[in-house]
């Protein structure tokens, strides 16, 4: 679409009503998405600050920056905040909330008020977590293993458990909204096979939200009961089984990692076709592999417990299932790469993030094979190898996907373009900083450096120093978008309605969209990723 | 022409149609699907605790069976009957709402509330009994009375505490859901009083009913698991 | 600088080589796949870069490719799975004649109790070339014993035994870490394994004076606690004779047949009614809460050390019908 020569601000969801009440009491999914954007970004920086302190402490083998208890709280709260208050909501609550109704041609989600309630639950839970932090913090590790968390820790375990428990309802309600919207509110002609893959991955994510989160909720509730009311469910002196906690905890927390990666995969599935000007290769396979990951993901939880004391037979079963769950992810990587074949590739910032995702997720996923191999896992479990693995998939994967998505849909959400040079620079900085931070940790892990160690033997120092150096670069990489995206809100180039020439119903509306998204409910007669019909942006005459 | 346009006008003007839905039918389907999905999450929620209970039941058979025999099966049975009756009044209430029978609906909702509060009262009596018998996990926990009932089988007090911990956690969580259910039905009572329900709109009653039935079904599982199974004689 | 830049942990156990071999295979596979994907992306991004007159070709997909890149990876994964499973199986099957060392973990130290009586804290001396089995339990929270040079790791749990075994192959001093977060001094709960040549180890054993063997300590406790009043040596008393029970099958009241290992003996002391021997009543008192871990280890080692069973004793193999399948406990 042509960019208008004269800028007159059209009515849109941002300027339709004014005042703080119109934002805090909004039921517009797009405004709620922005509310989430602000709060999720806040928690990202708190979690990131904790990460920097951890890496600063680890510059030297001795524990000389903070006390041991403080360090234990730092890694615990880094994990809790990043997992529950950043990664899990990031794409679904921001991009999902914004785009799911638009992509299916609806005016809003099925339950707009429940959507707002989701955000308030998240904020309340986040407030509890902040309160927990400032009143002493919690030092159990984000995994809360019993009996340490129930009977030995002297920190704010109850408050942290309650905070995460409450936050779970935010996820559950978001998942509920997505499932009902996708089932019942698709525009006429929009069959399942015409849905964008972003929708497929959010549908799969919602399944996990709905079936997995309640199990975490009951697990944390039992921890709360034990600490608050002395109901000793996990107390070994009363016959309680510490492994029962681990089974219950990981039954959710393993699918949780697929919650964190599936939406990013959905983002990549939108970006790669757009910047290759090609339909995605193997649409049905990519769609089905999202569902496959969600389903099989529920069957592998005890691969976190290979040295925990489970039986040999259980270990064998969970190992083989863990290899099974790797296959759909591999299918996606191959399909994305094949999409570039004979395409017409343009390396705009979103595409850089998407390609970075594919590369880093590949490495992260391959190292998962190491962990699924029973004989190797015994050696590398609970070492820095595991930390490197999950940061490759979570940060190199999920966060790159999130950044790519933010950049891709920024023009749609705000009506503005971010500055492309800075976008590219930040993407490259993040990629390089990330690898320097986490690749040395694979080596550290095989050497035997355990995780959650405040001090370590001197021979591990050089790798730790490299890792910290990388973390500083990574921090700069993340600060850059903060700055230039806020800058773009005022000074960025006015984006047209479809600056990328992308497929998808959301790009047929104005940028930013009107409150009800569509003037008229669309009737869909075309297949997804119809790039044979949509001209590339440079092919559209300007003016 | 007159009929269809009247229907269209009626739908377009229906005061309960929310703006993002195309029509009342889509709204009803969405709301009903939403409640079913939510109940699915509740199954997973209770499921985790049921699993913990089953694992320990198998592991510490004697203490759990002795624990089962120490709780009041009469009160438990009465409560089961009370809940089943309340589900009947709820089901009849949904029908009454659908038929627009305001007065009948109000009576049925009030009956449901009486049954629900009755259930909670009886549960409170049971809990108080446990408190008096020193079967509440904590400092004054003491199972010497239960041990006396089974003199030939040494019982491990720690394992017995696990039974009672789960008893309180399970029935407590269930009771919390009942209280929420009572709150929902109070709201429905208000809506019924205002005459909000009729053949073209009774969705809140329907989904409130679904929730109530679910809470009932959880009890139908809890009751045998806690009170009824393995009552064979332990010496 | 490169002296302080280690790439690889020492390999000092019989197991280490097998773990390293699989690891290196996985590294090779990962490098291959990563390079392949990176090259594909770079080549496509360059070769198909956007330029005027160059249009994308719409390709729907390819069943053949999808099948190939699902089946081939799954096949490779199955190979890796089997390989890893074999290593894990070996790691979980200590040889029957392995030397036992009882290990008690507590916040934040390791106690190693040799059966010859020596007690070590945060340090474990072992002879090279012998199979060593650590029978471990925790006094408080979950810990984990990790010796990177041996490629072994096992969580140590409160309330039960877990085992790990290894055979050291090279004399030397190796790191021992706690690798399950356990509180304030988790990173301080470290020590070392000192592997010695058999002669050096013998010398170490005899130095520091005479130690009372673990089973002798257990014998003393056995008498003190009155266990011998029911578990009389030669005959069946109110409780079954314990002579020769270790390592053999035991028939239980409910019909199950289990193998009496360390965990069975420990459980029978703490929770006697869990597995009552066939022909006996569940009258043994509960010792849960009355014994600490060290005392339990003494008793377990004592029972292990008792000789063969007399003929016809209840619960012994001669009374178990031929062909009964045993249930590994």
**Chains B–C, number of C-beta pairs less than 8 Å apart:** 20
Q: What pLDDT, on a 0 to 100 scale, did the predictor assign at position B13?
A: 58
CA–CA gap between residue C241 and residue C231 (Å, rounded): 5
- To the nearest whole number, what is the mean pLDDT of chain C? 88
Bond into A300 cis (ω within 30): no
Contact A107, B30 (CB under 8 A): no
Asked if pLDDT for residue A439 goes beyond 60, the answer is yes
Q: Note the pLDDT tens digit of each residue in A182-232.
A: 999 999 999 999 999 999 999 999 999 999 999 999 999 999 999 998 888
From chain C, the residues in CB contact with B62 under 8 A are 273
Residue A3 has pLDDT above 70, yes or no: no
SS3 C133: strand
Of C88, C148, C190, the CB nearest to A447: C148
* pLDDT of residue C322 exceeding 70: no
Q: What distance lies between CA A342 and its chain's CA centroid?
A: 31
A455 near C CB under 8 A: yes
Mean pLDDT, to the nearest integer, of A171-183? Answer: 97
pLDDT range class, residue A302, cuts 50, 70, 90? very high
- C155 has pLDDT over 50: yes
- C272:B153 CB<8 A: no
Percent pLDDT > 70 in chain C is 91
Q: Smallest Cα–Cα separation from C87: which of C26, C20, C132?
A: C20
Average pLDDT in chain B: 91
Q: Which of A401-415, B80-94, B139-153, C137-151 has the lowest mean pLDDT?
A: B139-153
Q: Between residues B15 and C222, which one has the greater pLDDT? A: C222
Residue A231 has what pLDDT? Answer: 86
Whose structure tokens read 């890796």? C80
CA–CA separation, A438 vs A444, rounded Å?
A: 10
Say yes or no: B30 contacts chain A, CB-CB below 8 A.
yes
Q: Phi and psi of A216, rounded to 5°? A: -60, -40
Q: Does B138 touch chain C (CB under 8 A)?
A: no
Angle (nearest 5°) at CA A341 between A338 and A347:
100
Question: Is it the case that residue C24 has pLDDT exceeding 70?
Answer: yes
**Number of independent structural domains in chain A:** 1
Q: What is the least distance, in Å, from the CA of B142 to any CA of chain A?
A: 13
Record the tokens describing residue C186, joined without a space: 């988790």
Distance CA A349, CA B30 (A): 38
Inform me whether the pLDDT recorded for A43 exceeds 50.
Answer: yes
Query: What would the mean pLDDT of B198-218 be, rounded to a whole number?
Result: 96
Distances A482 to A76, A83, A478, A486, C327 between C-alpha atoms, Å: 25, 20, 7, 6, 62
Measured CA to CA, the distance from residue A251 to residue A301 in angstroms comes to 5
**pLDDT at residue B10, rounded to an integer:** 47
- What is the per-residue pLDDT for B233? 72
Contact (Cβ atoms closer than 8 angstroms) between residue A323 and residue A372: yes
Name every residue whose Cβ is closer than 8 Å to that of residue C228 and which is 6 or more positions away in sequence: C222
| Least confidently predicted of A51-65, A136-150, C197-211 | C197-211
For chain C, say whether A535 makes contact (Cβ under 8 Å): no
Q: Sheet holding C123-127: strands in order across?
A: C123-127, C191-196, C172-178, C143-147, C152-156
Size of chain C in residues: 329
Flag whether pLDDT at C326 surpasses 90.
no
The answer, yes or no, to whether residue C325 has pLDDT greater than 70, is: no
Angle made by CA atoms A427, A428, A434, in degrees to the nearest 5: 90
Average pLDDT over residues B75-82: 96
A476: Cα within 13 Å, side-chain hemisphere: 13
What Å distances lie between residue A497 and A316, A530, C151, CA to CA? 53, 17, 58
The span from the CA of C102 to the CA of C164, in Å, is 11
Q: B48-228 architecture in CATH?
A: Up-down Bundle (1.20)
**Segment among A321-325, B140-144, C188-192 with least mean pLDDT:** B140-144
For residue A197, give both structure tokens.
Answer: 């893959």
Classify residue A262: in a domain, yes or no: yes
- A239: domain CATH number is 1.20.210.10
Residue A543, pLDDT score? 45
For residue A413, the model assigns a pLDDT of 97
Percent of chain A with pLDDT over 90: 94
pLDDT computed for residue C5 by the predictor = 81
Q: Is the pLDDT of residue B230 over 90?
A: no
* Domain-located, residue A15: no
**Predicted confidence (pLDDT) at residue C324 exceeds the cutoff of 70:** no
Cross-chain residue pair C286–B153, CB shorter than 8 Å: no
What does the pLDDT read at residue B12? 53
Distance from CA of B224 to the nearest CA of C (A): 24
pLDDT surpassing 90 at residue A386: yes
SS3 C147: strand
- Residue C181 has a pLDDT of 97
Domain with A496, as residue range(s), is 38-539
pLDDT in tens, A502-539: 999 999 999 999 999 999 999 999 999 999 999 888 87
Task: Please count the CA atoms within 13 angstroms of the CA of A139 that sit on its side-chain side.
Answer: 22
- Best mutation site among C159, C286, C287, C329 for testing chain B: the one with the most B CBs within 10 Å? C286
Q: Are A139 and A108 in contact (CB under 8 A)?
A: no
ipTM score above 0.90: yes
- C317 C-beta neighbours (distance < 10 Å), count: 16
Domains with residue ranges and CATH for chain C: 7-58+94-211 (2.60.40.420), 214-319 (1.10.760.10)
Q: Check pLDDT > 60 for residue B2.
A: no
Q: What confidence score (pLDDT) does residue C316 get?
A: 38
Task: Label residue C308 by pLDDT band (50, 70, 90).
Answer: low
């Amino acid at each position: 679409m042509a960019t208008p020569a004269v800028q007159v601000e059209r009515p849109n969801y941002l300027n339709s009503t004014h005042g703080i009440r119109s934002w805090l009491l909004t039921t517009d999914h797009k405004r709620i998405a922005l509310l989430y954007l602000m709060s999720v970004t806040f928690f990202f920086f708190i979690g990131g600050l904790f990460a920097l302190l951890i890496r600063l402490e680890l510059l030297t083998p001795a524990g000389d920056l903070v006390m041991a208890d403080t360090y234990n709280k730092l890694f615990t709260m880094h994990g809790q905040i990043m997992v529950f208050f950043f990664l899990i909501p990031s794409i679904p609550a921001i991009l999902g909330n914004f785009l799911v109704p638009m992509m299916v041609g609806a005016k809003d989600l099925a339950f707009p008020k429940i959507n707002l309630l989701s955000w308030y639950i998240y904020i309340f839970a986040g407030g509890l977590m902040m309160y927990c932090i400032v009143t002493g913090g919690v030092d159990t590790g984000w995994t809360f293993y019993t009996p340490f968390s129930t009977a030995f820790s002297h920190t704010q375990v109850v408050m942290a458990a309650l905070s995460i428990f409450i936050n779970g309802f935010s996820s559950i309600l978001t998942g509920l909204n997505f499932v009902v919207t996708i089932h019942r509110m698709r525009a006429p002609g929009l069959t399942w096979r015409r849905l964008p893959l972003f929708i497929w991955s959010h549908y799969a994510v919602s399944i996990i939200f709905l079936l997995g989160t309640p199990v975490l909720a009951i697990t944390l509730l039992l921890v709360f009961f034990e600490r608050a009311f002395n109901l000793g469910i996990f107390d070994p002196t009363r016959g309680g089984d510490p492994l029962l906690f681990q089974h219950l905890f990981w039954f959710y927390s393993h699918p949780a990692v697929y919650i964190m990666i599936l939406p990013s995969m959905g983002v990549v599935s939108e970006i790669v076709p757009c910047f290759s000007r090609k339909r995605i290769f193997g649409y049905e396979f990519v769609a089905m592999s999202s569902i496959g990951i969600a389903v099989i993901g529920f069957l592998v939880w005890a691969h976190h417990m290979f040295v925990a004391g489970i039986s040999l037979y259980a270990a064998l079963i969970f190992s083989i299932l863990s290899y099974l769950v790797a296959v759909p992810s591999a299918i996606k990587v191959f399909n994305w790469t094949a999409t570039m074949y004979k395409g017409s590739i343009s390396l705009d910032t979103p595409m850089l993030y998407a390609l970075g995702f594919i590369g880093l997720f590949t490495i992260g996923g391959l190292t998962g094979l190491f962990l699924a191999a029973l004989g190797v896992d015994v050696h590398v479990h609970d070492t820095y190898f595991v930390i490197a693995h999950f940061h490759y998939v979570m940060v190199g994967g999920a966060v790159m996907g999130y950044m790519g998505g933010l950049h891709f849909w920024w023009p749609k959400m705000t009506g503005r373009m971010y500055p492309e040079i800075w976008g590219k620079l930040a993407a490259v900085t993040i990629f390089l900083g990330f690898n320097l931070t986490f690749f040395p940790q694979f080596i550290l892990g095989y050497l035997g450096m355990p995780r959650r160690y405040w001090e370590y033997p001197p021979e591990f120092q050089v790798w730790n120093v490299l890792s910290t150096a990388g973390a500083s670069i990574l921090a700069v990489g993340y600060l850059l978008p903060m700055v230039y995206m806020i800058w773009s809100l005022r000074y960025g180039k006015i984006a047209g309605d479809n600056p990328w020439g992308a497929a998808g119903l959301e790009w047929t509306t104005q940028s930013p969209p009107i409150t009800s998204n569509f003037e008229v409910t669309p009737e869909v007669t075309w297949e997804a990723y119809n790039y044979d019909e949509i001209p590339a942006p440079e092919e559209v005459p300007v003016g | 022409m007159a009929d269809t346009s009247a229907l269209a006008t009626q739908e377009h003007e229906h005061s309960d149609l929310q703006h993002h839905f195309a029509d009342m039918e889509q709204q009803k389907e969405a709301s009903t699907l939403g409640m079913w999905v939510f109940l699915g999450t509740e199954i997973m929620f209770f499921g985790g605790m049921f699993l913990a209970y089953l694992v320990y039941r198998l592991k510490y058979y004697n203490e759990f069976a002795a624990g089962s025999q120490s709780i009041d099966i009469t009160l438990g049975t009465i409560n089961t009957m009370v809940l089943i009756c309340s589900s009947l009044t709820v089901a009849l209430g949904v029908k009454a709402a659908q038929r627009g029978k305001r007065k009948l609906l109000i009576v049925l909702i009030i009956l449901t509330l009486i049954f629900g509060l009755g259930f909670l009262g009886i549960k409170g009596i049971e809990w108080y009994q446990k408190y008096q018998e020193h079967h509440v996990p904590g400092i004054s926990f003491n199972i010497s009375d239960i041990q006396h009932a089974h003199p030939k089988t040494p019982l491990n007090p720690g394992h017995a505490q696990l039974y009672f911990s789960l008893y309180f956690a399970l029935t407590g969580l269930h009771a919390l859901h009942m209280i929420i259910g009572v709150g929902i039905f109070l709201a429905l009572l208000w809506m019924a009083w205002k005459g909000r329900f009729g053949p073209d709109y009774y969705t809140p009653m329907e989904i409130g009913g679904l929730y109530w039935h679910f809470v009932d079904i959880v009890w139908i599982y809890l009751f045998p698991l806690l009170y009824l199974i393995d009552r064979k004689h332990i010496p | 600088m490169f002296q302080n830049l280690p790439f690889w942990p020492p390999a000092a156990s019989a197991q280490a080589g097998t773990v390293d071999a699989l690891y290196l295979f996985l590294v090779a596979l990962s490098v291959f796949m990563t390079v392949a994907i990176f090259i594909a992306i770079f080549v496509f991004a360059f070769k198909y870069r956007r330029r005027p007159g160059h249009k994308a070709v719409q390709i729907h997909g390819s069943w053949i490719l999808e099948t190939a890149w699902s089946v081939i990876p799954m096949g490779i994964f199955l190979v890796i799975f089997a390989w890893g499973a074999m290593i894990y199986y070996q790691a979980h099957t200590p040889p029957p004649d392995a030397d036992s060392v009882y290990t008690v973990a507590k916040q934040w130290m390791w106690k190693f109790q040799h059966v010859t009586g020596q007690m070590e804290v945060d340090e474990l001396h072992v002879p090279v070339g012998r199979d060593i089995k650590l029978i471990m339990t925790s006094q408080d929270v979950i810990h984990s014993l990790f010796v990177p040079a041996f490629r072994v790791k096992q969580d140590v749990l409160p309330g039960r035994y877990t085992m790990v075994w290894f055979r050291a192959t090279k004399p030397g001093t190796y790191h021992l870490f706690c690798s399950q977060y356990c509180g304030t001094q988790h990173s301080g709960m470290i020590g070392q394994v000192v592997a010695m040549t058999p002669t050096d180890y013998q010398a170490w054993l005899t130095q520091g004076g005479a130690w009372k063997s673990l089973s002798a300590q257990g014998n003393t406790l056995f008498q003190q606690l009155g266990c011998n009043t029911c578990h009389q040596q030669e005959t069946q008393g109110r409780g079954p004779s314990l002579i020769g029970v270790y390592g053999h099958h035991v028939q239980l009241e409910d019909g199950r047949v289990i193998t009496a290992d360390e965990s069975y003996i420990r459980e029978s002391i703490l929770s006697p009614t869990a597995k009552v021997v066939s022909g006996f009543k569940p009258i043994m008192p509960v010792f849960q809460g009355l014994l600490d871990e060290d005392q339990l280890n003494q008793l377990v080692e004592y029972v292990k050390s008792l000789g063969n069973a007399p003929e016809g004793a209840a619960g012994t193999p001669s009374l178990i019908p031929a062909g009964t399948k045993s249930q590994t406990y």
